[in-house]
Structure 1
Amino acid sequence: MSGLSGVFAGRRPPGIYRWHAAYDVSDVRHTVEHAGWRFGYVDGWLAETKAEFLDAVGVALDFPDYYGRNFDALNDCLRDLADRGDDTVLLWDGWGPFARADEQAFAVALRILTERAEAADHERGGRFLVLLRGAGPDLDVPSLD
């Protein structure tokens, strides 16, 4: 998991990355948590619509009960993670079906996730890393491999 370790060691910035590593989710979780980061997992094969994605990310990142399951609420809850100083990795397997089924909603979701990653306060915590794993449309997103 050298690319992931590079982020943890500060050699690569947190952000949005394509990731082709075939590690089991439990192994990724263990590595992330061992590094002191929170871990969230979205199984995109079960979250192919906007509503399903918003539900899945809320569960994955343990958002509070008042999470409104819309893009404004997603943005707010991600900001709350940063305010608490939680360094977080979100592994999003199978993101391609959502990206293909609803290009506009996927673009909004990706923009919100990207803005959250770029707004992180690296001094006090709150770093955010999203790993897009699996096949999908071409994106202007670097690879972590």
Structure 2
Amino acid sequence: MSGLAAVLAGRHVPGVHRWESALPVSDVRRTVEHAGWAFGHVDGAGLDATDAVLRAIGDALAFPDYYGVNLDALRDCLRDLPGPTVLLWDAWGGYARAEPERFAVVAEILGEARLEVLLRGPGPDGLPTLQ
């Protein structure tokens, strides 16, 4: 967990990273929240369309009811996050393969926010790994 520990301690800039860890979601949540960060989890299994992914991200990060489930609304709601946040996105690869261009846009928007996104599980190459 050293890469995540470095992010939580402020020694590594948050961003969108592949993360190789088999830790249970509950252990990741506990670690993140103990460090004073907010936590969200997306189970991406079976999510291969942008609207489903945006809805899952909104649910995971407890976006308000008026969240419009579109890319502009994602950007706006991420700006309103109350503080540093970790989003653990399991099984992200299905969406990244099904809609590679849209995935790239979603990843870019997530990367612009003060958010650490941990992409866990197999998926296309090209994203940095958090070690």
Q: Same fold (TM over 0.5)?
A: yes
Task: Report if the CA contact (8 A) 2:46-2:94 is conserved.
Answer: no
In 1, distance between residues paired with 2:46 and 2:106? 16
Hey, what does 1:106 align to over in structure 2? 103
> What pairs with 1:21-100 in structure 2 (closer than 5 Å)?
21-81=21-81, 84=82, 86-100=83-97
Deviation at 1:49, TM superposition (A): 1.2
- State the AA in 1 paired with 2:90: D
Runs of 4+ in 1 over 4 A off after TM superposition: none
Structure 2, unmatched stretches of 5+, are none
- State the AA in 1 paired with 2:129: S
In 2, distance between residues paired with 1:46 and 1:79? 27
Hey, what does 1:120 align to over in structure 2? none
Aligned positions, number: 131
Structural RMSD (CA): 1.0
Structure 1, unmatched stretches of 5+, are 117-126
In 2, distance between residues paired with 1:10 and 1:110? 21
In 2, distance between residues paired with 1:88 and 1:138? 24
Hey, what does 1:128 align to over in structure 2? 115
What per-residue deviation string (whole Å, max 9, x for no partner) do you get for residues 9-38 of structure 1? 222111111101110001000000000000
